[in-house]
A and B are shown apart, each in its own frame.
Chain A
Amino acid sequence: MEEREGEVRWDGLCSRDAASRAAALDNIGQTVLRRSETIAPLAAVPLNRAADGLLVPAARDGLSEVLARLLMLSKRCPFPDVREKSEAILSRVQELGIRIPRPLGHGPSRFIPEKETIQVGNEDAMMHALFADSFTTLGRLDNVTLVMVFHPQYLESFLKTQHYLLQMDGPLPLHYRHYIGIMAAARHQCSYLVNLHVNDFLHVGGDPKWLNGLENAPQKLQNLGELNKMLAHRPWLITKEHIEQLLKTEENSWSLAELIHAVVLLTHYHSLASFTFGCGISPEIDCEGGHTFRPPSVSNYCICDITNGYHGVDEIHTSPTGSIPSTESVCEVEALMEKMKQLQECRDEEEASQEEMATRFEREKRESMFVCSSEDEESAPTRDVSRHFEDTSYGYKDFSRHGMHVPTFRVQDYSWEDHGYSLVNRLYPDVGQLLDEKFHIAYNLTYNTMAMHKDVDTSMLRRAIWNYIHCMFGIRYDDYDYGEINQLLDRSFKVYIKTVVCTPEKTTKRMYDSFWRQFEHSEKVHVNLLLVEARMQAELLYALRAITRYMT
């Protein structure tokens, strides 16, 4: 049998039927071993050498990719049978004297210690169902899923929406969808998402040439570049003229339905990029940077860990539930709760004048502009993601600092529930419903806990976060007192929010650790979900308003 790349077939693994999975795995196992055997003899004395750790590198004819994938399966497949078997295959390959990869990094997130996350295999029934769903539809269980599973209720809705956007009926062809995902993720230099979707893009038969840069993609997609840029960084500048341009250029014009699909995809991936950086998602095991063929070195951590200040020793200190919390941070939670209580109580008494309210919004808007990360660390772009986007200089500009005066967006005049939903559902049926559910779950998700305290009504805090994000995009709620934000969100938290939402690529572990030190990781992930959804809604509102204006 020849070694053709296509010979290793992974499709069977995505079955829910254990028997067909087993058959597929046997098949893979045989192929891999056969191919390994052809390499093994090259090193004439493999077995003795193996002891010295000098194994034959497997980096030829794609075998290493196969092995990496097997490694991923052995760690991340929700089905125990697959995990065991792929592990067995790997160890047999190793016996043949071929170097096998090992995972780099520590679990799905660089910010969250691996032991705090849900381990594949230890999940409960509901989580398992979600994992299995994710695995059977995507063929993998990605790190985003593993982190989001802290909140299974949300994850379910998230996966459903993403599946619908990428794989179900829709106006855009499949490879376009992934390409748009790449375009959107690349705006934030999110190599994690770009890598994932490059693979998917090729898998659905996309033209590899497009990946050399946007200028190699069809004109139609190039036209979308401008909208992508603005949506990602300054959505308030989108006008109906931009929409008109996309819809009216004769040859490569978009239809309204396609445009809605594209806009939903763009916003989805912009905000997902925020999540990826906000939670410090590690590269997938089978992607670049997720595994290594090097044997474990003397020092037990690798370079990327150092750059993130992630040391085995450090762990104790940074762990939020660690045993030696400083007294200061204990007070943090109590102080926050106290403030919430105060606001709740005195709300009826204290009557701010209308002018006062208006200025509070302006002030918050202005202040949000000064909140910026003091540490301007350059994140190291791993893959040459920059190919996928042009005009690197175009970034988030503070809403209020911007030269010309942009009128405040009033939610009461154009809200998601009343207007956005109807428009999306009209042009891209069912997606409105799915997004609505997702926003709803994200906004209302609560376990009534705060750090170690139970039975807390967190709605005020959640609303403050949500409105703060919208405030950064210039969206105003008439019925909200923006003074509350100042009371509830402290500076380090604001820095984190602003960085994740506006310039996610600059997020660092230090920022993640320095806010809300007493809180659980799951609560920080919860915050990230709010950020993701609020950002997505803000972008959508601007884009949809422009489309509505175009239509009338």
Chain B
Amino acid sequence: MEKMARVTTALGGNALTGRTMFCHLDAPANAISVCRDAAQVVVAGRNIFKIYSIEEDQFVEKLNLRVGRKPSLNFSCADVVWHQMDENLLATAATNGVVVTWNLGKPSRNKQDQLFTEHKRTVNKVCFHPTEVYMLLSGSQDGYMKCFDLRKKDSVSTFSGQSESVRDVQFSIRDYFTFAATFENGNVQLWDIRRPDRYERMFTAHNGPVFCCDWHPEDRGWLATGGRDKMVKVWDMNTTRAKEIYCVQTIASVARVKWRPECKHHIATCSMMVDHNIYVWDVRRPFIPSAMFEEHKDVTTGIVWRHLHDPYFLLSGSKDSTLYQHIFKDASQPIDRANPEGLCYSLYGDLAFAAKESLISSDSNRKPYIGDRRHPIFFKRKLDPTEQFEYISSSSALSVFETDVESGSMDWFVHTAKQYALAGRPLAELCDHNAKVAKGLDRNQVAQTWTMLRIIYSSLGTVSSTNLNHSMGKGSAALPLMNSFNLKDIPSGLGSESRLDRSKGESRTENILMDSSSTLINNEDNEETEGSDVPADYLLGDVEADEDDLYMMDHENPHAEEQEYSLPQEAFPLRHEIVDNPSALDHLQDKADSPHVSGNEAETVSLTPVESFSLISISHSLYENRLPSDFFNPIVRDTLLFYAEQGDVQTAVSVLIVLGDRIRKEIDEQTQEHWYTSYIDLLQRFQLWNISNEVIKLSTCRAINCLNQASTTLHVNCSNCKRPMSNRGWICDRCRQCASMCAVCHHVVKGLFVWCQGCSHGGHLQHIMKWLETSSHCPAGCGHLCEYT
């Protein structure tokens, strides 16, 4: 018992001993307090007011202070406090607004001493002066604090907080004259007991009521506060402005806080609702409690350290009608159950690994593998020498593993994302463009895919339509859409034989298509099994002319292709159409936790389409007697699944968008959504905001589509009065001024407002852009050299 020995010395031979124990009370407790010698505890509640002595291994009821036949509301206590100077003196705060003092030295059964009925509402807190015997302070729901001299019948002074109900009052331990009061509206006030007219200092500590506060027993300027906003905050009051130095976020509103004796940074808390445990926090480690007592079955209403200088014994009373003594060595330590390692991938494939230092150093003799460029960074917290004991070894090591520059580079992803064209042009053009992009980045397989897609979906349409009209000749006069088509991109699978066949004449087109499709299938199979890049150096001699024909538009028959045209997308459309979609958000929430696409999931895709989408019916009718491009859909679907499974969700999504309705119904919604979310996530990690937004806009999934409809509100503050503007973004209701004027044209900006972050002048986007072409100074004439990104 090394610890005990130390305690013994600390307390000068007056060692506390005991074990975790409890006793049943008859009624729920509201507050508890201990006697100075740590041998007795008083428990008070609505229907209970008793004194227990703390024995070696049990509580023994010493005295019941609730006497008399008729229970009076004066006995219904909200708070109780035992004087730390005089062991016969107690004070209680009654729910009916009475402050009562009790003298245990009285010979009669009724120990009630004095009655102060000055408060109009419930008294929430009473507090004795730490060094002055006769001074008692109370704080009430009526917003007043009163200081009583126990030798007089009435209060000596009344302090008006001017701001709602008082929840807690505490005399400072350092300053004889100072006390702190906390309020229901979130304020904390510091008062000088000699000056009842005005508080010394006030600051807003919490959002919502501040239920409790506690002065640090040693570090004299520190005040801990706990509030309904589930926070415990530690304030340094030594400076002129109260400074928040620590903040602990708990899981429920904080009912009581008590600094742990002899431990500078430890504080015990219990909560008002829902959570029944008592936590002891190290305020420097706000994320995980250093100890936890889980005995109570209902909310804990009162906690107190048994002795002023002993950190191992904690007493608590609860609504479950029990009184507990907790021993620190029986506390559960959540830190033991926490995962001591952390692992995270960076965007560029680097891997960070954090663990306890001991774990890292133990296997330091292992051989570093090739390519492992390890940069160990060590974070070590210096141990506080004044800390008597350290529960948590708080040193850990962080290592970062970098990947090879070549293999891990994600440049291709960024380039591809930026250069791909996804909409706004006919399908064939899009495919060709994208194929070229892929080619340029040495991604031959992807390039092949794009080319094939063009052939499957685009050429079919044109061929059939031209055939139907027997207008090959006429068609050739038309402008070829793809002048720059690169023959090199023709996939190997399309043998020269079929090409040649096709050039022979229209009559056999059907068979040819059959052929080409079968070869296509083979080709795709090859790709999928081997995953190899097919060399794309085919040159097909004399089919060039026909190739061009294949991609011609027939002016008389524009149905099939016309669907593809849409107005060019502006990079930054001012306003997109808001689709009223009330269910969208709910929908989104449901799906939000679904995992991103992974290899396994791609396999579970069902083949049946979830919904039937309306296809472009016009183009459909044209193919009636031909092989519909739908024929290839299963293959294309498999291709996309293959890519997604490989981790290249970019290709999958791009193809999905480009093909649109042609392929959409083949892949079930869930999978599509996974792809979209994964791709958008990746894009956003690379900060490709515009592209990700474009993808969101182009997506056909409802869940994705509504992503950029959520939280579209932008809150603006008025530039004059600095307060939020509620109605319109450009005029302030309060100061009745137009807040955002264009510095160039001096008109109100109602749309896009761009401003310099340095001098906060700005104006219409167009105007500022124009201005900056000629001058780099601020148009407002403030002399600032404006910087825009």
Contact = CB atoms under 8 A, between A and B. Distances in A.
B504 to A, nearest CB: 52
B76 A478 contact: yes
Nearest to B589: A169
Contact of A412 (B78, B299, B589): B78
B122 A479 contact: yes
B274 A354 contact: no
B276 interface: yes
Given A169-B589, A478-B73, A423 B122 contact: no
A426 B274 contact: yes
A11 B580 CA distance: 9
Contact of A419 (B208, B273, B726): B273
Contacts of A421: 208, 228
B72 interface: yes
Nearest to B117: A351
A478 B272 contact: no
B738 interface: no
A86 B585 CA distance: 34
A413 interface: yes
A167 B583 CA distance: 10
A204 interface: yes
Nearest to B45: A413
Contacts of A412: 46, 76, 78, 95, 122
A125 interface: yes
Contact of B582 (A204, A348, A418, A433): A204
A204 B581 CA distance: 10
A387 interface: no
Given A169-B585, A173-B586, A552-B298, A129 B96 contact: no
Interface string B709-740: 00000000000000000110000010000000
A166 to B, nearest CB: 11
Interface string A160-185: 00000001010001100000000000
Contacts of A204: 582
A548 interface: yes
A433 B228 CA distance: 11
Interface in B98-147: 117-122, 141
Nearest to B121: A479
- Give the contact-size bracket for chain A: 35 or more
Contacts of A410: 46, 95
A348 B155 CA distance: 13
Nearest to A358: B73
A422 interface: yes
Given A478-B122, A551-B274, A355 B727 contact: no
B779 interface: no
A524 B120 CA distance: 28
B733 A125 contact: yes
B73 A548 contact: no
A207 interface: no
Nearest to B207: A433
A66 interface: no
B625 to A, nearest CB: 36
A347 interface: yes
A90 B214 CA distance: 70
Given A204-B582, A552-B297, A479 B276 contact: no
Contact of B73 (A129, A347, A357, A417): A357
Contacts of B208: 421, 433, 436
Nearest to A16: B728
Contacts of A354: 70, 72-74, 96
A422 B298 CA distance: 15
Interface string B273-313: 11010000000000000000000011100000000000000
Given A347-B120, A355-B70, A422 B274 contact: yes
B254 to A, nearest CB: 10
A132 B582 CA distance: 21
A206 B503 CA distance: 60
B252 A422 contact: yes
B120 A355 contact: no
Interface in A291-347: 347
A202 to B, nearest CB: 13
Contact of B228 (A174, A422, A477): A422
Contacts of A551: 274
A548 B117 CA distance: 33
Contacts of B73: 354, 357-358, 478
Contacts of B141: 479
A130 to B, nearest CB: 10
Contact of A478 (B95, B209, B297, B589): B95
A173 B273 CA distance: 28
A323 B157 CA distance: 50
Contacts of A355: 70, 72
Nearest to B276: A552
Nearest to B296: A552
A199 to B, nearest CB: 15
Nearest to B251: A426
A530 to B, nearest CB: 18
Contact of A422 (B76, B118, B121, B272): B272
Contacts of A167: 582
B691 to A, nearest CB: 28
A354 B320 CA distance: 27
Nearest to A126: B733
B129 to A, nearest CB: 25
B228 A479 contact: no
Nearest to A204: B582
Nearest to A347: B120
B253 interface: yes
A419 B209 CA distance: 12
B475 interface: no
B184 interface: yes
A155 to B, nearest CB: 14
Contacts of A433: 208
Contacts of A436: 208
A92 B523 CA distance: 70
Contacts of A423: 273-274
A515 B70 CA distance: 39
A129 B97 contact: no
A153 to B, nearest CB: 14
- Interface-central residue, B121, B273, B583, by most chain A CB under 10 Å: B273
Interface string A271-305: 00000000000000000000000000000000000
A1 to B, nearest CB: 22
Nearest to B209: A417
B726 A129 contact: yes
- Interface-central residue, B119, B208, B297, by most chain A CB under 10 Å: B208
Nearest to A133: B727
Given A169-B589, A418-B272, A357 B582 contact: no
B488 to A, nearest CB: 52
Given A125-B733, A412-B122, A479-B141, A357 B96 contact: yes
Contact of B96 (A348, A478, A552): A478
Interface in A418-452: 418-419, 421-423, 426, 433, 436
B663 to A, nearest CB: 30
Interface in A464-485: 477-479
A552 B298 CA distance: 6
Given A11-B580, A354-B96, A552-B299, A129 B46 contact: no
Contacts of A552: 276, 297-299, 320
Nearest to A353: B72
20 contacts: A11-B580, A126-B733, A129-B727, A129-B733, A169-B585, A173-B583, A173-B586, A347-B120, A348-B118, A351-B117, A354-B72, A357-B73, A410-B46, A412-B95, A413-B46, A419-B273, A422-B228, A422-B274, A478-B96, A479-B122
Given A418-B211, A418-B228, 6 more contacts: A410-B95, A413-B46, A423-B274, A433-B208, A478-B95, A479-B119
Interface of A: 11, 125-126, 129, 132, 167, 169, 173-174, 204, 347-348, 351, 354-355, 357-358, 410, 412-413, 417-419, 421-423, 426, 433, 436, 477-479, 548, 551-552
